[in-house]
Amino acid sequence: MTYELRTYTANPGKMDALMSRFRDNTINLFTEHKMKSLGYWTPVGTDDVLVYILEHDGDPKANWAAFQADQRWIDAKSASEVDGALAAKIESVMLEATDLYPIAVAR
């Protein structure tokens, strides 16, 4: 199983819109494209950063390609970015689990 740690830095004034897009569209589409959300966080002391972890079923590159080609995602992204891009920066780190400690199961 491959996990992915993603960090989004929102453009000024766009964090609420970014959170809404995840809440209203993105998370459900992730599930349909073999990406399970394990958790979403905002770092203490910041108001423009969103961090989350996905669990990929299958090849992450194939999952992302299918997600990005989904017309529902294309439409949701376009609609949310009428007044400009929501994210200034997106970082991704692919992770493999170790045997040091069992992975927590998302609720």
36-53 as b/e: b if 16+ CB within 10 A: ebbeeeeeeeeebebebb
Domain 2-96 belongs to what topology?
Alpha-Beta Plaits (3.30.70)
Q: How far is the C-alpha of 57 from the C-alpha of 16, rounded, in Å?
A: 29
pLDDT at 107 over 70: no
pLDDT at 105 over 70: no
Query: Quick check: pTM over 0.85?
Result: yes
Taking each helix axis as running N to C, give the angle between helix 60-69 and helix 71-80, from 0 to 180 degrees, rounded to the nearest 10.
70
